[in-house]
Amino acid sequence: MKTAVLFFGEIRGGDKIWQNIYDSIVKPNNADVFMHHYYYSNEFLEKLSPILNESYTKYHKKKAVHFTPPSKLFQIFKPKKCLIEENRNDYHDNNEFAEISKKTTHDFFGEGNPIKEHIMMAYNTIRSQSFSRKQVIEMKKKFEEENGFKYDNVIITRLDINIFKPMSIVQKIPDIIIAREMSFESIYEQIIMTSSSVMDIFAKFHDEAVELYKKHIKPNHPFMQNEYFMTLFIKKHGIEISHCDFPMDYSQSRNGLSRFNVDYVTPESTTDVNQIY
């Protein structure tokens, strides 16, 4: 079987967590790696308003974001294809954002009532994330076309996940989405597994998300709730979801820098391989 692992989004974390992800996901599945990530220019913060400068500084510190990609990242994952682009900060510059912001009642990066600058920041963050997801999926698809084959299984994940033990796929995944259930209407997006064909459909989420936001935003479902809107997209396309409790920590108490604590993997957690599918 041929397996691909796709990484996307901001570059977060450090050597130890990256090595653990490699040892837990890439190596057990003898997978090819594809990566699309962002860098931030040295002038990025200087161009922002004082409010956004402060908010982005706190955000980058909390999420352990690297402004430029460390060489160790590529030494560990040895990707088949990789693209690092400067992060965009202009997704809000359109009429769709004006409509969406009017429906937003949550201040994602502050307290109390939402302010326009924080809504802009949140919108740019979530849109750049979905664009990165689309780019890495299309990178995988182009590689398949150039080499005349399709991967049997594709895993899409991030660089900041907290895996407890290796995961091995033991058979070809059918045209379904495998993810952990968050609620009756949402899945977690930290790890998603599926066939190559369904993953190609998944790339369309970026282009269809805005209409989903405009139609389904509610006080309890703001546009930053990626899991909810991704689940709506999957159901819209008639794709079956199979729930799987991946061996990783999803708790909010371990968000931010605590994700990257070198002590989070216990000795017994790496002694066996968990068969996922």
Q: What is the pLDDT of residues 22-73, one digit of tens each?
A: 999 999 999 999 999 999 988 888 888 898 888 888 888 888 899 999 999 9
Mean per-residue pLDDT over the chain, rounded: 87
Lowest mean pLDDT among 32-41, 54-63, 121-130, 249-258: 249-258
What is the Cα–Cα distance from 156 to 187, expressed in whole angstroms?
Answer: 14
Percent of the chain, pLDDT > 70? 88
The tokens for 59 are 């955000």
pTM here is: 0.89
Q: What is the pLDDT of residues 169-204, one digit of tens each?
A: 999 999 999 999 998 899 999 999 999 999 999 999
Give the model's pLDDT for residue 262. 33
Give the model's pLDDT for residue 93. 76
**Domains (range + CATH), the chain:** 3-43+66-87+129-275 (3.90.550)
What is the Cα–Cα distance from 197 to 153, expressed in whole angstroms?
Answer: 9
**Residue of 122, 8, 6, 123 lying closest to 55 (CA atoms):** 122
Give the model's pLDDT for residue 110. 62
Does the pLDDT at position 114 exceed 80? Answer: no
